[in-house]
Amino acid sequence: MKTMTLEQETNPWESQAARFDLAAKKLNLDEGMWKVLRYPNRELIVHIPVAMDNGKLEVFTGFRVQHSIARGPSKGGIRYSPDVTLDEVRALASWMTWKCAVVNIPFGGAKGGVICDPHKMSLGELERMTRRYTAELIEFIGPEKDVPAPDINTNEQIMAWMMDTYSMHMRQTVTAVVTGKPINIGGSRGRREATGRGIMIVCDEAIRKLGRTRESTRVIVQGFGNVGSNAALLMAQAGYVVTGIVEVAGSLYNRNGINVQAVSEYRMRHGTLSGFPEAESADPADLLVTECDILIPAATENQITSRNADRIQCKILAEGANGPTTAAADEILADKKVFIIPDILCNAGGVTTSYFEWVQDRQGYFWKESVVNEQLEEIMKSAFQDVVRYAETHEVNNRIAAYMLAIDRVAYTIRQRGIYA
């Protein structure tokens, strides 16, 4: 792999492209198909005027990138953050294409984002911005076109506003336009915990493959948002020993295990992990490279790079976040024989259960949570086995195997459909 500067290494689009190119080369993908799959179908940039509470007008920049609709409507979250870039959204959209193909659900990939700081905005400002952003995308989203979902700094309420705005324009209630909604307006049971549950399912499969038990497996989780907290809670309840929780504003470590339920309740009361009495406070950077059996980076991109990969001390790296490991770090981890469960497999529980929500909305028939979880487990286990088998057959690592499997499935569909001219 070519040498990259740190800036190139941590550019999500460059990182995604490096993995795609390697997998496409190993598949002997022809040049034309390579070009079709490497670039998004459509990229939208919108400038959103919003009346702020102080009476001033502010203009926010929003994006929506639709990478592929070959296997079905495009699907992907929307994030609100001051750091959102078009390159990041491009990369996340393509990852969604590969993720949906890995778990074999009938969606392509999309992603959206708005450059803003939601923590400095009132509920009214967020609602006005969300509704105007949705209105700008009205021709490009819909149950058969592109189905948004929550991501960083967006939630069930944001999805409810998006669904309502879209429905007002359509002059009818269209619940299937977004997923991750509140249950009483077409959301799915089990959706909130789905990404964390999916992580636990593939971790179960990985330790079974490596001959370990839950009770002898120490876990460090980075990020205690929706994904990290649910993964930690579910895994602790199942018998895993959670020894560390990494957060920028207060990290915790207890080599004998942390009471995750108590941490969750403490965080709810105090808004921080700092001061939790039953674990030591720790430096986030140090805790990330502390010895454990499973490390779950469940925060943001580029947490494991060429700068710290040589100090990572886990046996299994389960990527709860999108793009937490750079392409350069992959090579270092491969030398260390770390078993990687790549993001496009590991965190696919969220989009899989979003698919279930979309199906339920379109049927107008809603499933019990036990049915949702049972279907999720079946899909995640099957995808894990497919990726590992592909890795062993083609003598590549799990990440490149996941990409190869996904690219192969999407390319096959495009060849079947043909190119419209």
Annotated catalytic residues are 111
Question: Are the C-beta atoms of residues 106 and 410 closer than 8 Å to each other?
Answer: no
Q: Which residues are 119's β-sheet partners?
A: none
Which among 38, 6, 39 has a CA at the least distance from the CA of 25? 38
**DSSP 3-state helix, strand, coil percentages of the chain (rounded to 5)?**
50, 15, 35
- Cβ neighbors of 203 (< 8 A, separation 6 or more) are 217, 219, 235, 240, 294, 296, 316, 318, 341
Which among 12, 25, 36, 6 has a CA at the least distance from the CA of 419? 36
Question: Are the C-beta atoms of residues 75 and 149 closer than 8 Å to each other?
Answer: yes
Rounded distance between C-alpha atoms, residue 378 and residue 381, angstroms: 5
- Cβ neighbors of 412 (< 8 A, separation 6 or more) are none
* Paired tokens of 191: 């959706």
219 backbone dihedrals φ, ψ, rounded to 5°? -125, 135
Strands (E), 258-298: 280-282, 294-297
> Residue type at 301?
E
Mode of pairing for the β-strands spanning 280-282 and 294-297? unpaired
Rounded distance between C-alpha atoms, residue 223 and residue 227, angstroms: 8
Question: Are the C-beta atoms of residues 188 and 357 closer than 8 Å to each other?
Answer: yes
- Cβ neighbors of 1 (< 8 A, separation 6 or more) are 18, 22, 327, 328, 331
Rounded distance between C-alpha atoms, residue 295 and residue 271, angstroms: 24
Rounded distance between C-alpha atoms, residue 245 and residue 420, angstroms: 50
Residue 187 CA, distance from chain mean position: 19
